[in-house]
């Protein structure tokens, strides 16, 4: 298969982890006879610096024309500590999601047996955890009207949802539940928020089309607690934009490192794949960032094009690296490996047909 892939390394550790994902994809192309054509484009703080915009027109064009996008990370402390900054790196990502209509952000989480003891949670609580978060990505409070009053003493952000925006992601989440363990949990704050009441009403309505799915509801505050108390209860989680942002970072702790979690952002005509972690500026250029989330995002990209065997080859390599402790310092404080070492192990492992060398 021939695929045009736009690469948006972005800020901080983004370029380092994307480089490892490219190594893995190159290995897959070689082994399975595919052609992956990569086109780099800039986004975020680096794009502000180079082109004066967090999402230059040229970047949007490359992304629109690509079959898929692989995104690294965004953000720079220079802006975080400056609330009055006129342009912000994050706007690049938000504008890209909105422009491409990437309404469903899919964040799967499962536990590697070899890492159970890395987690801050007890082994019996997390062993066997396997759920996926469907986070709405192009609406809600992120994209509602917002304003700071002229005298700077008042501000507002409006949270708004339409039934169309709720329905389209709900169907994807229900369909996912059908091929998983047939449970869907809607997380909202319908005891307080009107938008949440609309979500609940629609989900109850839509659930009639999916009679085999066991539907459940949780208020977001309770859900935050349940994720830590008993994460095994979850199969498919469906939630709005900001709750999904917060809960997926919380959920990442269960796996042992946020550096492990990949995501897919799906739209009508475009698909983007991105690690859920941020730009981790403290690690930039140190060759210590965990590349696995970016590499696993590349696997989700392959799955999107029905290249399941290829995606599985990446996941097997990742599992092997974890099993053999060929991991970065977030997972392995002693004898750890660098970002590039881990990436090279993965591509070598993918290309090593007999898997002889590393199985010894």
189 among known catalytic residues: yes
Q: Which is nearer to Mn ion, 76 or 245 (CB)?
A: 245
245 annotated as a binding-site residue: yes
Q: Is 28 in the site for ligand IPM (CB under 6 A)?
A: no
Of these, 11, 136, 165, 245, which contacts Mn ion (CB under 5 A)?
245
Whether 180 has a binding-site annotation, put simply, is: no
97: annotated binding-site residue? yes
Known catalytic membership, residue 221: yes
Which residue number, 258 or 350, has a Cβ lying nearer to ligand IPM? 258
Of 59 and 263, CB closest to Mn ion: 263
Reading the block at residue 125, the tokens are 């609580």
Q: Does 75 bind ligand IPM (CB under 6 A)?
A: yes
- The β-bridge relationship of strands 130-136 and 104-110 is antiparallel
Q: Is 80 marked within a binding site? A: no
The answer for residues whose C-beta is within 8 angstroms of residue 24's C-beta and 6 or more apart is 295, 298, 314, 317, 343, 346, 347, 350
Of residues 245, 284, 320, 330, which has the active-site annotation? 245
Is residue 312 within 8 Å of 26, Cβ to Cβ? no
**Choosing from 67, 167, 216, 249, which is the catalytic residue?**
249
Looking at the DSSP bridge assignments, the partners of residue 187 are 218, 239
Q: Is 74 in the site for ligand IPM (CB under 6 A)?
A: yes
Separation between Cα atoms, residue 348 and residue 232, nearest integer Å? 34
| Size, binding site for ligand IPM by CB under 6 A | 7
Q: Is 90 or 235 the residue whose CB approaches ligand IPM more closely?
A: 90
Site string for ligand IPM, 81-120 (x = CB under 6 A): ---------x--xx--------------------------
Q: Which residues of this protein are in contact with ligand IPM, per CB under 6 A?
A: 74-75, 90, 93-94, 245, 276
Q: What are the catalytic residues?
A: 142, 189, 221, 245, 249
């Amino acid at each position: 298969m021939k695929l045009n892939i736009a690469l948006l390394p972005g800020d901080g550790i983004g370029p380092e982890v994307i480089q490892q994902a490219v190594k893995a994809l190159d290995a897959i192309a070689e082994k399975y006879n595919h052609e992956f054509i990569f086109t780099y484009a800039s986004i975020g703080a680096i794009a502000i610096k180079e082109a004066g915009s967090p999402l230059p027109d040229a970047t949007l064009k490359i992304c629109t024309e690509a079959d898929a996008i692989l995104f690294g990370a965004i953000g720079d402390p220079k802006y975080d500590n400056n609330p009055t900054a006129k342009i912000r790196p994050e706007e690049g990502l938000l504008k890209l999601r909105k422009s491409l209509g990437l309404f469903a952000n899919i964040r799967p989480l499962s536990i590697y047996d070899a890492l159970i003891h890395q987690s801050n949670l007890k082994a019996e609580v997390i062993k066997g955890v396997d759920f996926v978060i469907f986070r709405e990505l192009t609406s809600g409070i992120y994209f509602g009207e917002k304003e700071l009053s002229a005298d700077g003493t008042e501000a507002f952000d409006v949270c708004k949802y339409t039934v169309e925006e709720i329905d389209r992601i709900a169907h994807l989440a229900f369909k996912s539940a059908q091929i998983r363990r047939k449970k869907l949990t809607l997380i909202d704050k319908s005891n307080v928020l009107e938008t949440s009441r609309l979500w609940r009403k629609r989900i109850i309505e839509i659930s009639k089309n999916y009679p085999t799915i066991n539907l459940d509801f949780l208020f977001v505050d309770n859900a935050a607690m349940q994720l830590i108390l008993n994460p095994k209860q979850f199969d498919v989680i469906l939630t709005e934009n900001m709750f999904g942002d917060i809960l997926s970072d919380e959920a990442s702790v269960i796996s042992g490192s946020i550096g492990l979690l990949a995501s897919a952002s799906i739209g009508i005509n475009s698909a983007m794949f991105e690690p859920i972690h941020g730009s981790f500026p403290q690690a930039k250029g140190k060759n210590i960032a965990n590349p696995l989330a970016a590499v696993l995002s590349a696997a989700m990209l392959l799955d999107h094009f029905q290249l399941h065997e290829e995606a599985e080859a990446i996941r097997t390599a990742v599992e092997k690296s974890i099993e053999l402790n060929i991991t970065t310092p977030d997972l392995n404080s002693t004898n750890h490996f660098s970002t590039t070492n881990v990436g090279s192990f993965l591509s070598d492992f993918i290309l090593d047909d007999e898997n002889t060398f590393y199985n010894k």
